């Protein structure tokens, strides 16, 4: 049976007070609309149709790469019914098809809930997702006769008695496609708002004898829409709490789940511990026994078993990724950039930056150092204040440091450069030529002493 998924994403979002279209505001690092697309992908719909309007070009550009997505424009925006009218030419002619209608600003509707609606519809019934609110102000009310749904009345059109009803329409429905096309063609705007209400099709279905079914959810978070920065922040915390609970149920120890942010995917082994105020973005894996200190940001990284990421460390793998080996010690206040590949038991200390470099087992850079475009051998000791000068103003060059090399403090290694195994670089040296294995290389000005020298003084 053919399935269409229609996502309404045409609204301006005036209360967001932003030039950004509402559906592109981010929840956990992804656009609201992207969440809806991600959650519906497993349904394998024949078509996913996004209705755009305000900021249409911008919205379409952001999600155009999603598979099976087509766009229709709603200009001007004259209500939800008017929005669905724009989709009629592209809904298809399948007699037995179903159409699931979602909102682009309601990002957390679960895949299982969407599938439940589609299955209940079966190409034959009109199915509404409903919820009971203690304060239903502003929501369309469900009008029932016993178990049968007869109508939805918008809040502004409801009578005082109808406004006492607590069961509300969530804005999410599934309908037989052929009937939906027929119903929306008959909508009018004779209401308080002067808009075409999609909810008016309920009465049409009842008049035709089409069964109208209400599927009630108890999970408020999955039907909450975003209309303001306050609502977006509230939904962010709800979603982060959900993710935190899922991780803790799997055995991850979070010091405080209310101070945890996951803006991508996080895969954890056993006995992982995460302290407060940590942010994970992109694709991150933490091996068995990994401990992450407070206030760390980790993006696109693979951290292997037993590693310790100390407080205030920033790891950003971007497209290349970052790898931290088993038992490595990183931070505090360290920065790992794209292409950093650290072997087992590597030490990266405070205010050390590593970019596009490999460090073999046991190598150490413990203080105030920079390693860029370098290959570092086993057990290398890289001194405080040492840097690889890898950029000549036009091109990047590589530094090769052999095993057991000792680089003294405040050295500049000017690439391209090779330092042989077991060599020693004297502190304060600027090295521009190859250093052979086992050699001591010192390149600095000779120390002199001038007796009786006086500092200049200001003329008065």
pLDDT tens profile 427-447: 999 999 999 999 999 999 888
Query: What band does 28 get if pLDDT is binned at 50, 70 and 90?
Result: very high
pLDDT of residue 349: 98
Identify whether the C-beta of residue 123 lies closer than 8 Å to the C-beta of residue 98.
Answer: yes
H/E stretch holding 102: strand 98-103
Identify whether the C-beta of residue 268 lies closer than 8 Å to the C-beta of residue 250.
Answer: yes
Task: Map tokens 């970052």 to a residue.
Answer: 322
pLDDT of residue 459: 84
- Please tell me whether residues 281 and 193 are part of one structural domain: no
- Please tell me whether residues 261 and 166 are part of one structural domain: no
pLDDT of residue 304: 98
Residue 152 lies in a domain: yes
- Please tell me whether residues 212 and 264 are part of one structural domain: no
- Give the pLDDT mean for 368-392: 97
- Rg of the chain in Å (alpha carbons): 31
Identify whether the C-beta of residue 261 lies closer than 8 Å to the C-beta of residue 279.
Answer: yes
Residue 234 lies in a domain: no
H/E stretch holding 431: strand 430-431
Question: What are the b/e assignments for 82-103, b being 16+ CB within 10 Å?
Answer: bbbbbbeeebbebeebbbbbbb
- Please tell me whether residues 187 and 267 are part of one structural domain: no
- Give the pLDDT mean for 452-457: 88
Identify whether the C-beta of residue 90 lies closer than 8 Å to the C-beta of residue 15.
Answer: no
Identify whether the C-beta of residue 252 lies closer than 8 Å to the C-beta of residue 260.
Answer: no
Residue 460 lies in a domain: no
pLDDT in tens, 183-237: 999 999 888 788 899 989 999 999 999 999 999 999 999 999 999 999 999 999 9
- Please tell me whether residues 63 and 170 are part of one structural domain: yes
Q: What is the DSSP letter of 223?
A: G
Note the maximum CA span of the chain: 109
pLDDT in tens, 250-297: 999 999 999 999 999 999 999 999 999 999 999 999 999 999 999 999
- CATH code of 297's domain: 2.160.10.10
Identify whether the C-beta of residue 361 lies closer than 8 Å to the C-beta of residue 345.
Answer: yes
Q: Judge residue 225's burial from the number of C-beta atoms within 10 Å of its C-beta, 0-12 exposed, 13-18 middle, 19 or more buried.
A: middle
pLDDT in tens, 372-383: 999 999 999 999
pLDDT of residue 149: 87
- Please tell me whether residues 203 and 101 are part of one structural domain: yes
- Mean pLDDT across the chain, nearest whole number? 95
The CA-atom distances, in angstroms, between 287 and each of 276, 292, 383 are: 19, 11, 29
Query: What band does 47 get if pLDDT is binned at 50, 70 and 90?
Result: very high
pLDDT of residue 146: 77
Residue 167 lies in a domain: yes
155 catalytically annotated: no
pLDDT of residue 140: 86
pLDDT of residue 151: 86
* Helix, strand, or coil (residue 446): coil
- Please tell me whether residues 109 and 159 are part of one structural domain: yes
- Please tell me whether residues 88 and 171 are part of one structural domain: yes
- Please tell me whether residues 177 and 282 are part of one structural domain: no
**Residue 336: CB partners within 8 Å, gap ≥ 6?**
301, 313, 314, 315, 316, 317, 322, 324, 330, 342, 348, 353, 354, 355
CA distance 403 to 363: 9
Residues above pLDDT 90, as percent of the chain: 85
Identify whether the C-beta of residue 70 lies closer than 8 Å to the C-beta of residue 49.
Answer: yes
Q: Is the pLDDT of residue 150 over 90?
A: no
CA 175 to chain centre: 32
CA distance 383 to 431: 14
- Please tell me whether residues 329 and 434 are part of one structural domain: yes
Closest by CA position to 84, among listed 2, 148, 175, 1: 175
Residue 305 lies in a domain: yes
Structure tokens at 191: 């209401």
Q: Judge residue 379's burial from the number of C-beta atoms within 10 Å of its C-beta, 0-12 exposed, 13-18 middle, 19 or more buried.
A: middle
- Give the pLDDT mean for 21-47: 96
pLDDT of residue 242: 96
CA distance 240 to 258: 8
CA 86 to chain centre: 31
Residue 95 lies in a domain: yes
- Please tell me whether residues 269 and 212 are part of one structural domain: no
Of 199 and 116, the one with more pLDDT: 116
Domain closes at, from 203, 223, 243: 223
CA distance 36 to 156: 28
pLDDT in tens, 310-329: 999 999 999 999 999 999 99
Structure tokens at 49: 């149709």
| CA torsion through residues 436, 438, 444, 449, sign | negative
Helix axes 32-40, 111-121, angle to 10 degrees: 60
Domain closes at, from 187, 205, 223: 223
pLDDT of residue 190: 86
Q: How big, in percent rounded to 5, are the helix, strand and coil portions of the chain? A: 20, 35, 45
Number of domains in the chain: 2
Q: Any idea what the Cα angle at residue 381 is, between residues 429 and 401, rounded to 5°?
A: 70
pLDDT in tens, 325-339: 999 999 999 999 999
Task: Give the torsion through C-alpha atoms of 381, 384, 390, 391, to 10 deg.
Answer: 180
- CATH code of 217's domain: 3.90.550.10
For 32, the domain range is: 3-223
Residue 228 lies in a domain: no
Query: What band does 152 get if pLDDT is binned at 50, 70 and 90?
Result: confident
Residue 246 lies in a domain: no
Closest by CA position to 366, among listed 407, 398, 327, 420: 407
- Please tell me whether residues 257 and 215 are part of one structural domain: no
Annotated catalytic residue: which of 302, 367, 397, 406? Answer: 367
């Amino acid at each position: 049976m053919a399935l269409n998924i229609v996502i309404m994403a045409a609204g301006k979002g005036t209360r967001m007070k932003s030039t950004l279209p509402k559906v592109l505001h981010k929840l956990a690092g992804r656009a609201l609309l992207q969440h809806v697309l991600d959650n519906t992908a497993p349904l394998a719909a024949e078509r996913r149709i996004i209705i755009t309007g305000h900021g249409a070009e911008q919205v379409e550009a952001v999600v155009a790469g999603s598979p099976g997505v087509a766009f229709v424009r709603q200009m001007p925006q004259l209500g939800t019914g008017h929005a669905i009218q724009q989709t009629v030419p592209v809904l298809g002619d399948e007699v037995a098809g179903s159409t699931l209608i979602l909102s682009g600003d309601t990002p957390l509707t679960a895949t299982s809930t969407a599938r439940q609606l589609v299955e209940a519809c079966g190409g034959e019934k009109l199915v509404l997702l409903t919820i009971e609110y203690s304060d239903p102000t502003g929501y369309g009310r469900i009008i029932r006769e016993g178990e049968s749904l007869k109508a939805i009345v918008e809040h502004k059109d409801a009578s005082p008695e109808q406004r006492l009803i607590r069961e509300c329409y969530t804005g999410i429905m599934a309908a037989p496609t052929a009937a939906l096309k027929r119903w929306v063609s008959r909508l009018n705007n004779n209401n308080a708002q002067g808009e075409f209400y999609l909810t008016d099709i309920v009465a049409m279905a009842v008049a035709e004898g089409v069964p109208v079914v209400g599927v009630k959810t108890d999970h408020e978070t999955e039907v909450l829409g975003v209309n303001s920065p306050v609502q977006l922040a509230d939904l962010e915390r709800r979603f982060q709490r959900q993710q935190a609970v899922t991780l803790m149920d799997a055995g991850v120890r979070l010091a405080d789940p209310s101070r945890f942010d996951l803006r991508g995917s996080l895969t954890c082994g056993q006995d992982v511990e995460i302290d407060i105020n940590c942010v994970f973005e992109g694709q991150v894996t933490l091996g068995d026994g990994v401990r992450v200190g407070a206030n760390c940001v980790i993006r696109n990284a693979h951290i292997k078993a037993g590693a310790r990421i100390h407080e205030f460390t920033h790891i950003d793998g971007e497209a290349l990724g970052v790898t931290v080996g088993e038992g490595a010690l990183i931070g505090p206040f360290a920065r790992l950039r794209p292409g950093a590949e650290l072997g087992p038991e590597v030490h990266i200390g405070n205010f050390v930056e590593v970019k596009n470099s490999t460090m073999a087992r046991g190598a150490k850079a413990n203080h105030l150092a920079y390693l860029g475009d370098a290959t570092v051998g086993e057990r290398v000791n890289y001194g405080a204040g040492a840097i690889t000068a890898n950029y000549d103003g036009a091109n990047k060059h590589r530094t090769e440091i052999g095993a057991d090399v000792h680089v003294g403090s405040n050295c500049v290694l000017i690439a391209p450069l090779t330092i042989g195994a077991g060599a020693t670089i004297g502190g304060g040296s600027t090295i521009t030529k190859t250093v052979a294995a086992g050699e001591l290389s010192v390149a600095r000005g000779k120390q002199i002493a001038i007796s009786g020298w006086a500092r200049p003084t200001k003329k008065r």
